[in-house]
């Protein structure tokens, strides 16, 4: 899909006080949509992820690069009194502000909703915290794996007879970032009717519980919990990892039609006729025998053979991240972009969004710390070179 218009959020300005994942992932999407995202960072190191362990490019960690493309960086020490004047000047010209400080920190810095809404009543202000801004748990810190644990996700995940397992990716942060993006778009639409901004609050814990969705409703409706099933499905079969000649493949055949189609394509009608496998209930009861029979079939050919032969079914090879990113599907979907960077050209992920008329703008890199300080202070705050130099000498900006 090729769009030729302007990005959907072009003309919007976002003040991004957030760090790490949930907030930055949200504002990265807003930047992809064309918003002018000004990332406000502490001059002493910036976002916590800038110096994370692992590979880096041009002095920036892979972790920071993953969540901050397309933004401008303003290095501003929020503990300095002069910084608040700068924030207020920017807030007066912005549509959205977002922060993920622990409850009470924004108030202490003078950048809470009440303070910034007084400057700009049309401002959409987003607060992200672990357990909400109010209530008996609001003072607790929260990190993704702990929230997975407390929401019941880890208890659902892992081998049937083994310990609970976390998801290795920061899925709660990612879910929360998507909820934040949706909430911002909704609040912006509401503003067209009311003329006013509003405060949007998101808690990582709420996002984690919401993500349990059908598993939660299973308990709320029936009073029982879905059984842990490892790589399989608790109620459907065949849904599991099988072993082809050169590695694992995954089948997700969750209904009778797909099962019968599989048996035809692998030329094993006897499996469909076997009483042990004839119905979903029977396959569930005899799942060990079912997977043993299918492993014997799949082990005769490589993964590529099965991917092509079973193209009409939800079947695919289990790939590493490297195999996926260097593979033909990612190339066809243009999900990896090459962008310019002061450290040399670099590859990064692209946006998953595709609009017919309003293109995303995902071909920009993440900023260097303070890269746009002078630009923002000069063009948006009206400060001259001498005043900026004075603020820099005072340690207010960098």
CA 99/CA 106 separation, integer angstroms:
8
The dihedral sign for the CA sequence 318, 324, 327, 331: positive
CA 27/CA 47 separation, integer angstroms:
14
- Per the structure block, which two tokens stand in for 263? 């048996």
CA 148/CA 136 separation, integer angstroms:
19
* CB burial readout 89-126, b (16+ within 10 A) else e: bbbeebbbbbbbbebeebeebebbbebbbeebeebbbb
The dihedral sign for the CA sequence 297, 298, 302, 306: positive
CA 287/CA 237 separation, integer angstroms:
7
Catalytic residue (one of 62, 199, 218, 233): 233
Q: Could you tell me which residues come within 8 angstroms of residue 63 by beta carbon, excluding any fewer than 6 positions away? A: 49, 52, 54
Q: Could you tell me which residues come within 8 angstroms of residue 161 by beta carbon, excluding any fewer than 6 positions away? A: none
233 is catalytic: yes
The dihedral sign for the CA sequence 117, 375, 345, 329: positive
Q: How far is CA 227 from CA 10, 160, 232, 286, in A?
A: 47, 8, 11, 16
CA 279/CA 277 separation, integer angstroms:
6
Active site residues: 233
């Amino acid at each position: 899909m090729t769009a030729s218009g302007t990005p959907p959020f072009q003309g919007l300005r976002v003040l991004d006080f957030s760090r790490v994942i949930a907030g930055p992932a949200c504002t990265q999407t807003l930047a992809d949509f064309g918003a002018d995202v000004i990332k406000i960072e502490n001059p002493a190191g910036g976002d916590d992820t800038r110096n994370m362990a692992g590979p880096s490019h041009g002095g920036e960690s892979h972790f920071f690069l993953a969540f901050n493309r397309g933004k401008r960086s303003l290095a501003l020490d929020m503990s300095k009194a002069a910084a608040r004047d700068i924030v207020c000047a920017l807030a007066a010209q912005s549509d959205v502000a977002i922060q993920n400080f622990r409850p009470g920190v924004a108030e202490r810095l003078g950048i809470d909703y009440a303070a910034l809404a007084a400057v700009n009543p049309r401002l959409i202000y987003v607060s992200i915290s672990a357990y909400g801004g109010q209530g008996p748990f609001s003072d607790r810190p929260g990190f993704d794996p702990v929230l997975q644990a407390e929401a019941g996700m880890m208890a659902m995940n892992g081998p049937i007879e083994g310990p609970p397992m976390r998801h290795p990716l920061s899925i709660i942060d990612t879910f929360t970032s998507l909820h934040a993006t949706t909430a911002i778009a909704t609040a912006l639409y509401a503003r067209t009717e009311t003329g006013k901004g509003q405060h949007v609050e998101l808690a990582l814990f709420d996002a984690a519980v919401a993500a349990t969705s059908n598993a939660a409703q299973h308990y709320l409706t029936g009073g029982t919990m879905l059984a842990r099933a490892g790589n399989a499905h608790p109620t459907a079969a065949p849904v599991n990892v099988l072993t082809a000649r050169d590695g694992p493949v995954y089948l997700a055949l969750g209904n009778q039609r797909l099962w019968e189609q599989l048996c035809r394509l692998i030329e094993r009608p006897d499996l469909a006729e076997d009483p042990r496998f004839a119905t979903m209930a029977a396959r569930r009861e005899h799942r060990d025998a079912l997977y043993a029979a299918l492993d014997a079939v799949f082990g005769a050919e490589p993964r590529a053979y099965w991917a092509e032969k079973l193209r009409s079914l939800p079947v695919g090879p289990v790939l590493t991240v490297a195999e996926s990113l260097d593979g033909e599907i990612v190339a066809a979907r243009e999900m990896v972009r090459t962008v310019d960077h002061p450290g040399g050209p670099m590859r990064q992920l692209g946006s998953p969004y595709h609009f017919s008329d309003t293109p995303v703008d995902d071909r920009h890199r993440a900023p260097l710390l303070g890269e746009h300080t002078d630009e923002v202070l000069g063009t948006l705050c009206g400060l001259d070179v001498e005043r900026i130099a004075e603020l820099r000498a005072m340690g207010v900006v960098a």
